[in-house]
Amino acid sequence: MSYSTDNIAELDVLLLYDLSTSQEGIKIHKSADTNKIAAAERLFDKGFITQVDGGYLTSLGREAAEHTQFLYTMLNAG
């Protein structure tokens, strides 16, 4: 089992969120990398974010982003 390139792109988008506040969202601009745009669209379709181009995290998205950021920290410690 391994992450697909789509999974990695989605994880990268989740890493963009500031988890210290629920009042701050993100915006993926039309000029962004096409992989990032597609990842945001997939996250929206899965119910992780509120807008197709970013927006805010849903409760499911917040949980996913917390796990994503925790794993990133663990893998990059030391």
Domain layout of the chain by residue ranges: 5-75
Query: pLDDT category, 22, cuts 50, 70, 90?
Result: confident
> What does each C-alpha distance from 31 to 36, 38, 39, 58, 72 come to in angstroms?
10, 12, 14, 25, 26
The Cα–Cα gap between 36 and 14 comes to 11
Query: How confident is the model at residue 78, as a pLDDT?
Result: 73
Query: Pairing state of beta strands 49-51 and 26-27?
Result: unpaired
Model-wide pTM > 0.75: yes
pLDDT tens per residue, range 31-54: 999 999 999 999 999 999 999 999
